[in-house]
Structure 1
Amino acid sequence: MGTDSRERMVRSAAYLFRERGYSGTGFRDVIAHSGAPRGSIYHHFPGGKVQLAEDAVRYAGEFLNAGIEAAVEGRDAATAVDAFTGWWRQVLVKSEFRAGCPVAAVTVESHDEAPQLAAAAARAFDRWADTLATGLANAGVPDDRAARLARLIVASVEGATILCRAHRSVDPLDDVVRELKTLVTAAAG
């Protein structure tokens, strides 16, 4: 029951949360999806489903942040928005609008008995915004404006993915991208 099965379970939980949400994903689902040994879930996650979810949110946050870093590296502000949102577009289309953001899924279902879930989600969202803000600042957006625009980008894209799932169309995301690119291009001067 090594680290590999633990990592597979964390990745599987993040993947399943995208489509089923936190409440709709059970340990059995994670075991089946990951192919991990049945008894390994309690071995690796003695804190239960909350611990697994917290680790899945951390994993998803780091995974997406790596994509954001690549998107903003050495690019202008509008291209960074395209690169960041292009991944979401692929996820939505490939999943036939069944998959969204695992971090958002856990966030909306977090509860008072597990405040660490909301805290983990907040850290992921903040990290994405910080990375975007750095990229925007590097593209010429003043630092204080870059931070606000980065938070707007994260919030807009998260909201757009929900609308896309509801409408089964990428049109809401495309609309948001067009407006965000206009804003960041103007802000970069």
Structure 2
Amino acid sequence: MSRALPVTVFVSRTARGPGGAALTRWAHDLCRDAAGFPGHLGAHVGTRVVDGTVTVHIGVSFAGAEALLRWERSGTRARRLAEGDELTRGEPVALPLAEFGLVAAASGRPAPSRLRSAVLIWAALFPPAALVNAVLMPHLDAWPGLVRTLLLTLLLVPTVVFGTLPLLQRALARRGR
């Protein structure tokens, strides 16, 4: 089993003149080409228009550095990048992960640690789980365990995701934590 960590490359290209539609098509073609390579995990194309200038943001993910290098060293990619040079001005710009909403940079703070996330989720899950176990589960003793578990998760997951977790996060944000 491979221990390689997935890798993602993000770049930004700005359209030369009014070529925003062509640049966006080119970015999608680039991502489609990358998808044909072994180890490809996914791709993303986003556009931003500011004062009539179109900037295309591209993210491409591979299963590991070796797979990414195969793509980066390929003739397919080189030809596609040459096409993109005709449509863009300036050099490609590497983007921070925050451009794609992958880190909590908008708040100026790093993403929470796994330990903090685990404690927060537990704190949001415990009260409704205790309530359901105390009120509902004694009446369902005759039900098969799998059906009780299904009912429990059907009740708890939406309650936590849409109820207690957001409440807890807002309360912590007000306290500056």
Question: Would the TM-score normalized by the shorter structure come out above 0.5?
Answer: no
Where is the strand percentage greater, Structure 1 or Structure 2? 2
TM-score by length of 2: 0.22
Where is the helix percentage greater, Structure 1 or Structure 2? 1
TM-score by length of 1: 0.21
Larger Rg: 2
